[in-house]
Each structure stands twice: as structure tokens, then as C-alpha cells.
């Protein structure tokens, strides 16, 4: 008899030993991702492609799907009576759901549609999320959501690509699920995803070369020099302009992803957001055996100053991240 794969719920219940509140929140997030997946897939029919004629808090042009994806996350995460607050890339203010949050309540951070410039050209996009748990009762304020990435109890993303995937960690490894369209279930397809320590593949937006500082300039020059260069190895470059797609590739076959601080983004602290991009991806990569760094320090230990804070991001195969950090300490 064919063995049926584990469903997301069975996995959370049987393998992860999560408490009911966290399990239900993760199921609500999976429901939001299912709904977003359908919007993304039906895009051209449902008139959801293109610009929304608005900008988000980051000053970026919003796509219609950015707005729709944000609504799905807001709607489904608000189901749980244990969610204290939601922090979305698309919304300026922290969205408090409770007037008097208690110890044990959740903070949920999310980028509802990452890489959305890829939507109109039918390339992979995704949703990223991070969950923390309040250690004590707090009064709602912006400062109350500023916990470092080491305090995450769960991180994950959905990828809307050739198939829809959901990848999560609750602190014991990284596990991948695939959306089965017939049943509407996420089924466990990639248990224990790992990032090999070595790689010959890097991902960076090389059009920013003119802005790079020396450590990145020298590292990339040495990779490009290939077999005859100081690394003595032929490297490949892959950049999708969708962090979820690049991280998914790294979790599948290794590699490094770089969005470093450069002279063009230094004024804002980098490009990617700490609380709902760098932290959750950093936790996933570390849990899979990789490393996540700003270039000089561990991303998960960055002390957040604001909920939309940006940070340099360099993550992936462990040995290669150590190399890149060495370029930073030499230059
Ligand atoms: O805003 C996030 C993001 O879209 C990431 O998903 C992606 O890695 C990056 O920005 C793309 O940046 P750029 O437009 O510089 O290629």
C-alpha cells in the first residue's frame, strides 16, 4: 500500500510536540499562504496583477497582490486569541490585537509578498514570517515588539513557484511541505533540509557593484576570477531578485546570498528588513546548518531599534560565510 505523506497538522502534532496555540497559529498562517497561492496562480484571470497605485511604508510601489497578500495574513492571523500584535512590511504601524498582552502571547512579523516585482513576469515569489512569544505582560508600544532574532520560536516562508511550498522551523531542523492542489493539504516532502557547508554558487545583485565596499568587491572579484584566481575554483552566479526563491535554492543545494551594506543603501542601513526578512531567513538557514551574518556579526543577535529596520544580509553555506566574514576583517 502506498504510504500517504504526513500532513502539516500531523507533523506539527506528532513530530514537533507544539502547544495547541502555536499549532493553531501555524495552521492559520498556512491557510493565509494557501489563499495567497491561489491569488498568485489566478493572477491574470483575477485582475490582481500590476500596480496598486500606492506606496508602502518603505516608499516602494505596491503591487495589487502586495495589498491582497497583506489582507490575507492580517485576516487569518487575527483568528488566534493568543496573537498580541502583527507587524507587516506593508503597514507602517504595529497592529495590536490586544489591549493587555500577556506572557505567552505571540508577536507575528511578516512580509506578505516578498519579491513582488517578479509577480507580473510569472517568476517565483513568496511570503516570509517570524513568530516570537512575549516573556511577560506588556503595554502595547512600538518598543514592545523589538525582540532580537534569537528569541524567534518559529520562522518560515511559503514559496509560490512551479509548485507552492511551505518551509518552517520551530527550532528543531527545517522541514519543507508541498501544497497538494487536490486535497488542499500541505504534505511533508522535504524533512530535515540541510545546507551543505561548502558551495561554488553565490547570489548578488551585481548591478550594484559601483556601490560595493572593498570586502564585497574583493570577495566577488576573487569568485569571478575562477580557477586561475586566489580561490582556485570556478563559481556560478544566480540572482532571482526574490529572496524566497534564492533562499529556497540555498536550502535545497547550498550557496550564498548577499545583500550587503553598500554606499547606495548605507543611509537606510541596508536593503532588507531585519524583523520579517533577515531574522526568519537567518533562523531557517542556521537551523539547516548554515550561517547568517551582516558581514561582521550574527544577524540573529542584532538588537532591533525599529520594527521596519533594515540590515545587511549575507547567508548560506557555513564555510563560505566564514570566508566572506574573513574578507570583512581583512579589508
Ligand atoms: O524587497 C525584497 C527583495 O525583493 C528581495 O526579495 C530580493 O532579494 C531583493 O529585494 C531584490 O533586490 P534588487 O531589486 O536590488 O534586485
For residues 228-243, give the mean pLDDT. Answer: 97
Is 125 touching ligand 1 by the criterion CB < 6 Å? no
Reported as a single tens digit per residue, the pLDDT across 262-305 is 999 999 999 999 999 999 999 999 999 999 999 999 999 999 99
Are 311 and 302 in contact, with CB atoms under 8 Å apart? Answer: yes
Is 250 touching ligand 1 by the criterion CB < 6 Å? no
Identify any residues that bridge with 55 across adjacent strands, giving them in sequence order: 61
Is 111 touching ligand 1 by the criterion CB < 6 Å? no
| Residue 63: predicted pLDDT | 75
Atom number of ligand 1 nearest to Cα 244: 6
DSSP 3: P
> Residue 91 has which C-alpha cell?
503597514
| Residue 51: predicted pLDDT | 72
Atom number of ligand 1 nearest to Cα 277: 2
Rounded Cα–Cα distance for residues 89 and 66 (Å): 10
Atom number of ligand 1 nearest to Cα 118: 4
pLDDT band at 2 (very low <50, low <70, confident <90, very high): low
| Residue 4: predicted pLDDT | 84
| Residue 58: predicted pLDDT | 65
Are 31 and 184 in contact, with CB atoms under 8 Å apart? Answer: no
Is 295 touching ligand 1 by the criterion CB < 6 Å? no
Which phi-psi region, left, alpha or beta, contains residue 171 (left: φ > 0; alpha: ψ -120 to 50)? left
Q: What percent of the chain has pLDDT over 90?
A: 85
Residue 43: is its pLDDT beyond 90? no
| Residue 49: predicted pLDDT | 66
Residue 222: is its pLDDT beyond 70? yes
Is 241 touching ligand 1 by the criterion CB < 6 Å? yes
For residues 68-96, give the mean pLDDT. Answer: 95
For residues 74-95, give the mean pLDDT. Answer: 95
Reported as a single tens digit per residue, the pLDDT across 153-194 is 999 999 999 999 999 999 999 999 999 988 999 999 999 999
Residues shown for the chain: 331
Is 243 touching ligand 1 by the criterion CB < 6 Å? yes
Residue of minimum CA distance from atom 11 in ligand 1: 241
Contacts 24+ apart (CB under 8 A), 58-62: 58/89, 58/273, 58/308, 62/90
Residue 144: is its pLDDT beyond 90? yes
Are 226 and 235 in contact, with CB atoms under 8 Å apart? Answer: yes
Is pLDDT larger for residue 30 or for residue 43? 30
Best of 241, 250, 280 to mutate for ligand 1, by most ligand atoms within 8 A of CB? Answer: 241
Residue 48: is its pLDDT beyond 70? no
Residue of minimum CA distance from atom 14 in ligand 1: 241
Reported as a single tens digit per residue, the pLDDT across 185-212 is 999 999 999 999 999 999 999 999 999 9
pLDDT band at 330 (very low <50, low <70, confident <90, very high): confident
pLDDT band at 148 (very low <50, low <70, confident <90, very high): very high
Residue of minimum CA distance from atom 15 in ligand 1: 205
Q: How far is the CA of 172 from the centre of ligand 1 (A)?
A: 28
Residue of minimum CA distance from atom 13 in ligand 1: 241
Q: How far is the CA of 90 from the centre of ligand 1 (A)?
A: 15
Domains and CATH numbers, the chain: 8-190 (3.30.540.10), 201-330 (3.40.190.80)
Rounded Cα–Cα distance for residues 229 and 111 (Å): 39
| Residue 225: predicted pLDDT | 98
Which phi-psi region, left, alpha or beta, contains residue 59 (left: φ > 0; alpha: ψ -120 to 50)? left
For residues 91-111, give the mean pLDDT. Answer: 97
Amino acid at each position: 500500500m502506498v504510504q500517504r505523506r504526513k500532513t502539516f497538522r500531523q507533523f506539527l502534532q506528532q513530530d514537533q510536540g507544539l502547544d495547541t496555540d502555536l499549532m493553531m497559529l501555524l495552521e492559520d498562517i498556512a491557510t493565509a499562504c494557501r489563499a495567497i497561492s491561489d491569488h498568485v496562480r489566478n493572477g491574470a484571470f483575477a485582475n490582481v496583477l500590476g500596480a496598486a497605485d500606492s506606496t508602502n511604508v518603505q516608499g516602494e510601489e505596491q503591487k495589487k497582490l502586495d495589498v491582497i497578500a497583506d489582507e490575507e495574513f492580517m485576516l487569518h492571523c487575527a483568528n488566534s486569541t493568543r496573537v498580541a500584535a502583527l507587524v507587516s512590511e506593508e503597514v507602517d504601524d504595529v497592529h495590536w490585537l490586544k489591549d493587555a498582552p500577556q506572557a505567552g502571547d505571540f508577536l507575528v512579523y511578516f512580509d506578505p509578498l516578498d519579491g513582488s516585482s517578479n509577480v507580473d513576469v510569472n517568476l517565483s515569489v513568496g511570503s516570509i514570517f517570524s513568530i516570537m512569544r512575549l516573556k511577560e505582560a506588556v503595554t502595547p508600544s512600538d518598543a514592545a515588539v523589538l525582540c532580537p532574532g534569537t528569541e524567534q520560536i518559529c520562522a518560515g516562508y511559503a514559496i509560490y513557484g512551479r509548485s507552492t511550498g511551505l518551509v518552517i522551523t520551530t527550532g528543531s531542523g527545517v522541514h519543507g511541505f508541498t501544497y497538494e492542489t487536490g486535497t488542499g493539504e500541505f504534505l511533508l516532502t522535504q524533512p530535515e533540509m540541510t545546507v551543505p557547508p561548502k558551495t561554488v554558487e553565490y547570489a548578488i545583485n551585481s548591478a550594484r557593484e559601483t556601490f560595493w565596499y572593498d570586502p564585497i568587491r574583493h570577495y566577488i572579484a576573487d569568485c569571478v576570477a575562477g580557477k586561475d584566481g586566489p580561490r582556485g575554483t570556478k563559481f556560478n552566479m544566480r540572482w532571482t531578485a526574490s529572496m524566497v526563491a534564492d533562499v529556497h535554492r540555498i536550502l535545497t543545494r547550498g550557496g550564498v546570498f548577499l545583500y550587503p551594506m553598500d554606499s547606495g543603501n548605507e543611509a537606510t542601513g541596508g536593503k532588507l528588513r531585519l524583523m520579517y526578512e533577515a531574522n526568519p531567513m537567518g533562523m531557517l538557514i542556521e537551523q539547516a546548518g548554515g550561517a547568517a551574518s551582516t558581514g561582521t556579526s550574527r544577524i540573529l543577535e542584532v538588537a532591533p531599534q525599529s520594527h521596519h529596520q533594515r540590515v545587511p544580509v549575507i547567508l548560506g553555506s557555513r564555510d563560505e560565510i566564514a570566508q566572506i566574514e574573513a574578507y570583512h576583517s581583512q579589508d
